[in-house]
Chains A and B, each alone.
Chain A
Amino acid sequence: MIKNVDAIVIGGGPAGMAAALSLKNNGIEKVLIAEREDFLGGILLQCIHNGFGLHRFKEELTGPEYAERYIDFLKSTDVEVLLKTCAIDIVSTGKKKKVYLMSESSGLIEVNAKVVILAMGCRERNRGNIAIPGSRPAGVMTAGLAQKLVNRYGYMPGKEIVILGSGDIGLIMARRMTWEGAKVKAVIELQSYPGGLNRNIVQCLNDYNIPLYLSHTITNIYGNERIRAVDVAPINEFREPLKENTFNITCDALLLSVGLIPENELSSNAGVCLDKVTGGPLVDSNLMTSISGIFACGNVLHVHDLVDWASEEAEDCGKSAGEYFKTAIVQAKGIPVKAGHLVRYALPSTLEPGKPGLISLRTIAPAENAAIIVKAGDSVLYKKTHKKIFPSEMQRIKIDTVPENADAIHVYFE
């Protein structure tokens, strides 16, 4: 089957839905969303806890509620949605883009489009990524998989749980497993500070007296068919486990909440340049990738801690993709954005002179009384001091006007 559309959005999660809506609102007629699951909403559907939408809707929603708001918006448009449809290849020749989709009902679909928006989200790091020694029993899984099993299918991964990594999904799962009757014995974190948001430490761990071991790691996994225990050791400043202080925790499940990686196999196969730090595509101020006409937003671009920001970014992305469609703007000739002291990354990689700019950034480590400074040459474009700043909290900075004659824009902490 061959389909001709103006724009195709790959992925029907929060970013994909917001991008498609934004394309419509910016006057693009034929918009198609390709989604590999049999529903829209992506990972939100398994995030049944609340805390979503405080910025976007000024109220506290659960994941499914947040998703349904966007699903309802989409229903009032003529955006075409293909479910159970997986994008397998993107081919870009000049201004023409071809996206090959595989669908359960229609087989291979060849989509001709002028604009492609990447919104595939991210994937969890797993045991292989962090190389935990020990045997290979059942019961070791990522926290997001456990979340899917419990919240969507009603299966419990175990009764006595150890969680490695204190990212938000791990913390949320600690509470969820406790509510469902499991005993969460420990959360182990390699860093000296928690990976997730403060509020989740309070309401997911402290409320249930679940111990959090900072600067600790798992050094061994025991069990033949089923996991039965793990070794936990404190680490020194070189991240070496201290053998003499190792202790053992019995468990029947180990959940890993050890980070997320943007899912960019499709993008890199298409020839899109990726950023080594974020794992997502390099984008200009229009969120356009290194290939004209291919845009990216949401977790496929960089991992967000709040869905509200993913939606906002996707809206901006839809808007600039719409501009591209109508006026065929070329790759914005931008001023490079450079990440300096304490900044893990700053996105986009270029900003357009004479226009307003939006920079997303994260710190490398927690800092107190730190000022975020954005400078072009000697002129300070932005400065704000934060009492406390954590790597788990993405900062989004608005620049009123990007100067015309700057060599680079430096973003750093002081």
Chain B
Amino acid sequence: MKKTIICISCPLGCNLAVEYNNKAIIRVLGNACNRGAKYAGKEIFSPERVVTSTVKIMGARVPLLSVKTDCSVSKEKMFDIMKQIFKIQIEAPINRGSIICKNICGSGANLVATRTLDKTTQIR
């Protein structure tokens, strides 16, 4: 089977011509780097994306903390993860990289903070 996909690994956005059968990738053409070949394999058999969002934070000078999954997760799980994210509320202080939710929705990825927020008593 053949399929043309656009690599999303970096802003270059290479057009990948992928040749594959039921089990494996046979050939990938058009990739500028080896991330493209890796992406093609995943995209054909089990597409994955990184989810980035925000959670509520109390005691910081801003109301929201930006977060991400620390690796890409199955595309099918994205909306379950978002539902879980809506429920989370945490307390400042928090450091960039701190785990907010381990193995979120059984995706294998941890939800981590992408920002450092100190505790403050100052009302925004």
Q: Within the assembled complex, what's the spacing in Å between the Cα atoms of A203 and B39?
A: 13
Chain A residue with Cβ nearest B79: A179
Which of A2-10, A136-144, A146-154, A257-265 lies at the binding interface? Answer: A146-154
Partner of A202, one of B8, B50, B79, B115: B8
Q: With A152-B62, A179-B82 known to touch, is A305 a contact of B11 (CB < 8 Å)?
A: yes
Q: With A48-B54, A207-B49 known to touch, is A198 a contact of B62 (CB < 8 Å)?
A: no
Which residues on the A side are within 8 Å of B62 (C-beta)? Answer: 152
Chain B residue with Cβ nearest A52: B11
CB distance from A41 to the nearest CB of B (A): 9
**Residues 40 to 77 of chain A near chain B (Cβ within 8 Å):** 45, 48-51, 54, 60-65, 68
Asked whether B8 lies within 8 Å of A48 as measured between CB atoms, the reply is no
Inter-chain contact total with CB atoms closer than 8 Å: 77
Asked whether B8 lies within 8 Å of A50 as measured between CB atoms, the reply is no
Asked whether A62 lies within 8 Å of B66 as measured between CB atoms, the reply is yes
**A302-323 near B? 1/0 per residue, CB < 8 Å:** 0001100000000000000000
Which residues on the B side are within 8 Å of A180 (C-beta)? Answer: 53, 82
Which residues on the B side are within 8 Å of A64 (C-beta)? Answer: 66, 96, 114-115
Chain A residue with Cβ nearest B51: A179
Asked whether B49 lies within 8 Å of A203 as measured between CB atoms, the reply is yes
Q: Within the assembled complex, what's the spacing in Å between the Cα atoms of A152 and B54?
A: 8
Asked whether A199 lies within 8 Å of B54 as measured between CB atoms, the reply is no
Asked whether A48 lies within 8 Å of B11 as measured between CB atoms, the reply is no
B104 CB-CB contact with A under 8 Å: no
Q: Within the assembled complex, what's the spacing in Å between the Cα atoms of A197 and B8?
A: 10
Asked whether A198 lies within 8 Å of B64 as measured between CB atoms, the reply is no
B116 CB-CB contact with A under 8 Å: yes
A201 CB-CB contact with B under 8 Å: yes
Which residues on the A side are within 8 Å of B79 (C-beta)? Answer: 179
Q: With A153-B64, A199-B6 known to touch, is A65 a contact of B96 (CB < 8 Å)?
A: yes
Q: How many residues of A contact B (CB 8 A)?
A: 32
Asked whether A48 lies within 8 Å of B114 as measured between CB atoms, the reply is yes
Asked whether B64 lies within 8 Å of A152 as measured between CB atoms, the reply is yes
Which residues on the A side are within 8 Å of B96 (C-beta)? Answer: 64-65, 68
Q: Within the assembled complex, what's the spacing in Å between the Cα atoms of A199 and B49?
A: 12
CB distance from B68 to the nearest CB of A (A): 6
B52 CB-CB contact with A under 8 Å: yes
Which residues on the A side are within 8 Å of B68 (C-beta)? Answer: 48, 50, 62
Q: Within the assembled complex, what's the spacing in Å between the Cα atoms of A64 and B82?
A: 19
B63 CB-CB contact with A under 8 Å: yes
Asked whether A50 lies within 8 Å of B53 as measured between CB atoms, the reply is no
**Residues 73 to 124 of chain B near chain A (Cβ within 8 Å):** 75, 78-79, 82, 96, 114-116
Q: Within the assembled complex, what's the spacing in Å between the Cα atoms of A197 and B9?
A: 12
Asked whether A153 lies within 8 Å of B63 as measured between CB atoms, the reply is yes
Q: Within the assembled complex, what's the spacing in Å between the Cα atoms of A60 and B51?
A: 13
Residues of A within 8 A of B (CB): 38, 45, 48-51, 54, 60-65, 68, 151-154, 179-181, 197-199, 201-203, 207, 305-306, 388, 393
Cβ contacts A to B, 18 pairs, < 8 Å: A38-B61, A48-B66, A50-B50, A51-B10, A60-B10, A61-B114, A62-B68, A62-B114, A64-B66, A64-B96, A64-B114, A152-B62, A152-B64, A154-B56, A181-B82, A199-B6, A199-B9, A202-B13
Known: A63-B66, A64-B114. 8 other contacts (CB 8 A): A64-B96, A65-B115, A179-B78, A199-B13, A202-B8, A207-B49, A305-B11, A306-B11
5 closest residue pairs by CB, A with B = A198-B13, A48-B66, A199-B8, A64-B115, A199-B13
